[in-house]
Amino acid sequence: MRAGEEQARVLYLSLAETAERLIGYRLDDDYYGMKTGYLDGYLERVNAVTCTQVNAAIKKHLQAENIEYLIVTNAAEAPKIAEEIAAGGAAWGKAPVEYQIDVKETEGGKLYEVPEAKLDLLRRDAAWANYWLDIPREKIKIVSVEKVFVTASLPE
C-alpha cells in the first residue's frame, strides 16, 4: 500500500469522528439522493483508483495559476501569515503550545520537547508551512470570516 492510499484510508477514520459529522453526512446523502452514502462508499471509491490515475487527473485538471486559496485563521494572525506567504517564507498557523509542545529556555536557545504522538502531524504541517505558493502580496486579501459566510464567495 502506498503512502497516499494509506492516508486516504486513515482520513476515512476521521470523517465520522462525531455524531454531528455522521448526521451531517446522512443528511447530505439524503439531500443529494445518494443510494450508496458518501461514507458507505468511500473506501470502495478509494480502492477503485490507482495513485497513477489520481496523479494523471491532477496534472490534467489542476493548474497552479487558477488555484484560489482560502486560509482561515484568527484576525490577529492574518496579516502575519499574509506577509509570510507573500515573502515566500514559512507560514505557520499554529504555535508550539497548540501542538502541545513544551518549550524550555536553555543557555544556547530553546529546547522543543515534541511528544512522539505529535511528530507525524508536525511533519505534515511543516511541509505545508514551507510550501511556496508564489502569490504576490497585492493578490492576497484579508476578509472577515463573517463576510465570507454571508456572501458565500470571496471578494474580487
87 with 134, same domain?
A: yes
Domain enclosing residue 95, as ranges: 78-151
Rounded CA separation 141/136 (Å): 11
* 71 falls within a domain: no
pLDDT of residue 135: 85
In which residue are the cell numbers 495513485 written? 51
Mean pLDDT of the chain: 82
Q: Is 1's pLDDT higher than 60? A: no
Rounded CA separation 101/113 (Å): 6
56 with 82, same domain?
A: no
pLDDT digits (tens, 9 = 90+) for 15-59: 777 888 888 888 989 999 988 888 888 888 888 988 888 889 888
pLDDT of residue 5: 63
Phi-psi domain of 29 (left: phi exceeds 0; alpha: psi -120 through 50; beta: other): alpha
Predicted TM-score (pTM) of this structure: 0.50
* 109 falls within a domain: yes
pLDDT of residue 130: 85
- Contacts of residue 2, Cβ cutoff 8 Å, sequence gap at least 6: 51
DSSP at 112: E
